[in-house]
Structure formats: C-alpha cells, structure tokens
Copies of this chain bind each other. A is one copy, B any other.
Amino acid sequence: MIKPLNDNVLLKKEVTENKTASGIILSTNESKEENIGLVVAVGDGKIVDGKKIAMTVKVNDRVIFDKYATTEIKYKDEEYLLIPEGKILAVIE
C-alpha cells in the first residue's frame, strides 16, 4: 500500500474511452481530460508552524489537477500520480 506523506495525494489517472464511428473503443490518455483523476490515498496533512493542516480532498473524490505538478510512479503494474494537495484545483461532484 502506498501511503502519501505530508500533503501529498495519490491519484489514479482517468482513462478516456474514445469510440470511433465503427464502434471500436480506443483507450487513451491523450485527450484533454488527462487532468482528471481519482483520489486513492491522502497524506496526513502538512505541518506549518507546528500545526497540522487538515486535508480537503478525500479518498474517492474525482479531482481536476495541474498535470505539470505530478510525479508518475508505477507500482505492482499500476500507474499512479503523486501530487501536493495545493495543485488539485477542483473537485467534480
């Protein structure tokens, strides 16, 4: 299990299915929806001036993030992203 430290958040990137005219489904990460992900795990929060700042996002949130702020990792054949919470811009409700 991956446990993010501080204010880091573990995301699973959404895979967009592109259906062609003939019904063939193309799985791709190349669309503009590439900055939507699912929260898989969250850190305990950053400590600022000795106080822990609570996290806003929670597991299972679908979030929009700044894709230039992520670290890509591969673990047990799955790909994940780690990102500091401040680079998560919005939640899809």
| A-to-B contact residues, CB < 8 Å | 1-6, 8, 10, 31-33, 35-36, 43, 56-57, 64, 66-67, 71-75, 79, 82, 86, 88-93
Contacts and interface: CB of A to CB of B under 8 A. Distances in A.
Contact of A4 (B2, B4, B75, B89): B89
Copies of the polypeptide in the assembly: 7
A5 B82 contact: no
A79 B32 contact: yes
A89 B81 CA distance: 11
A2 B64 CA distance: 9
Contacts of A75: 33, 36, 64, 92
Contact of A90 (B5, B31, B72, B93): B5
